[in-house]
């Protein structure tokens, strides 16, 4: 696939964004999560292109060949939404279908909430849509959830430099542990969402004896090389803006997404499990929901772990869009 992919750098409302493009037809724009890149959509790009779509996977700001601002506040949600809309403008097209995974899902959901005119439909993988809240400040809620002896991983990522130092000791090995522990191959694996105080996240990691079918050594090398070159400040700074996002989006508290939507999660995926209350409210928050599908035995890396099922669900949904 790599030889066929067109790589482009576009000006997305003043931000340099790298795109990987494959195929011709109606555009499907895909937004990755942490710690990934455009490459996390490799299985979807070939399937979409073969089905007559133009698959476009972006590197989110802070990742790969996209811009890497040096201020934490430049990674707030509204800046990511501006990038997504700017990519649509740079492509010179009308409304496109938008798909996101992990942090890419909230970016996609929020883009559809703020700019529904630019998207034919929106699909989220792993992280269900929960409208902006006027409730407690997110970091305050996280501290209460973790208790006195641990930190929720989002809280652990807040201090600039701490998680970077841990990860950059051995980027490839850290990624392997993170991918493996959050995947569906371990039914009752370690709870890496909580970091006991006085430890590092990697102290909780387990590692596979053999690489899983969905993540080859070459795949892991591709991710590791990108992060060794670009670092983790930008990717981790997305987490460092949860309170800013709460402030920026309070005016939209409780609002539904009014365009056609789709959700795909895994029954072994933390964000999908934690998101059960949000999923239960989809009839109110996603009134044009096509389908909500929870894949049995699937972990966090939905589109990589279960590409055939994910592709089939996406193509079925895309076929219903106006």
DSSP string, 101-159: ETTHHHHHHHHHHH-GGGEEEEEEESS------SSS-HHHHHHHHH-TTEEEHHHHT-S
Is the pTM higher than 0.85? yes
Give the position of tokens 């890497």.
Answer: 68
Burial of 86 (0-12, 13-18, 19+ CB in 10 A): middle
Cα–Cα distance measured from residue 269 to residue 282, given in angstroms and rounded to the nearest whole number = 18
Give, as one character, the DSSP assignment of residue 299. Answer: -
Position 1 confidence tier, pLDDT thresholds 50, 70, 90: low
| Residue length of the chain | 322
Give the position of tokens 């909230």.
Answer: 106
Calculate the dihedral angle through the C-alpha atoms of 306, 4, 31, 17, rounding to the nearest 10 degrees: 160
Residues marked active site are found at 102, 300
Q: Tell me the pLDDT tens digit for each residue of 99-130.
A: 999 999 999 999 999 999 999 999 999 999 99
Q: What is the CA radius of gyration of the chain?
A: 18
The predicted structure's pLDDT at residue 20:
98
Fold of 2-318: Rossmann fold (3.40.50)
Q: Tell me the pLDDT tens digit for each residue of 181-220.
A: 999 998 788 899 999 999 999 999 999 999 999 999 999 9
Give, as one character, the DSSP assignment of residue 238. Answer: T
- Across the range 129-148, mean pLDDT stands at 91
- Across the range 237-263, mean pLDDT stands at 98
Cβ neighbours around 202 below 10 Å, total? 18
Burial of 282 (0-12, 13-18, 19+ CB in 10 A): middle
Which helix (H) or strand (E) segment holds residue 221: the answer is helix 217-230
- Across the range 129-142, mean pLDDT stands at 93
Instruction: List, in sequence order, every beta strand (DSSP E) within 231-280.
Output: 261-266
The predicted structure's pLDDT at residue 146:
87
Cα–Cα distance measured from residue 113 to residue 238, given in angstroms and rounded to the nearest whole number = 19
Position 269 confidence tier, pLDDT thresholds 50, 70, 90: very high
């Amino acid at each position: 696939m790599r030889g066929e992919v067109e790589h482009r750098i576009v000006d997305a409302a003043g931000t340099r964004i790298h795109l990987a493009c494959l195929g011709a037809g109606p555009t499907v724009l895909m937004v990755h999560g942490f710690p990934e890149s455009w490459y996390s959509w490799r299985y979807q790009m070939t399937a979409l292109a073969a089905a007559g779509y133009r698959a476009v996977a972006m590197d989110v700001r802070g990742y790969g060949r996209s811009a890497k601002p040096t201020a934490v506040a430049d990674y707030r949600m509204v800046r990511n939404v501006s990038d997504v809309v700017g990519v649509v403008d740079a492509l010179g097209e009308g409304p496109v279908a938008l798909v996101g995974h992990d942090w890419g899902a909230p970016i996609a959901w929020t883009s559809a909430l703020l700019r529904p005119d630019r998207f034919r439909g929106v699909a989220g993988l792993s992280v269900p849509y929960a409208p902006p809240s006027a409730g407690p400040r997110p970091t305050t809620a996280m501290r209460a959830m973790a208790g006195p002896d641990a930190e929720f991983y989002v809280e652990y990522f807040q201090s600039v430099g701490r998680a970077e130092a841990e990860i950059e000791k051995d980027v490839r090995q850290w990624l392997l542990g993170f991918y493996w522990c959050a995947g569906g191959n371990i039914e009752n694996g370690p709870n890496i969402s909580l970091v006991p105080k006085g430890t590092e996240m990697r102290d909780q990691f387990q590692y596979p004896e053999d690489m899983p079918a969905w993540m080859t050594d070459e795949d892991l090398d591709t991710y590791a090389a990108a992060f060794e070159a670009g670092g983790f400040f930008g990717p981790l700074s997305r987490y460092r803006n949860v309170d800013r996002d709460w402030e920026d989006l309070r005016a939209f508290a409780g609002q539904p997404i009014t365009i056609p939507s789709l959700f795909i999660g895994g029954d072994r995926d933390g964000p999908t499990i934690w998101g059960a209350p949000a999923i239960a409210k989809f009839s109110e928050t996603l009134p044009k929901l096509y389908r909500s599908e929870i894949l049995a035995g699937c972990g966090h890396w939905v589109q990589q772990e279960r590409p055939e099922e994910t592709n089939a669900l996406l193509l079925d949904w895309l076929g219903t869009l106006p």
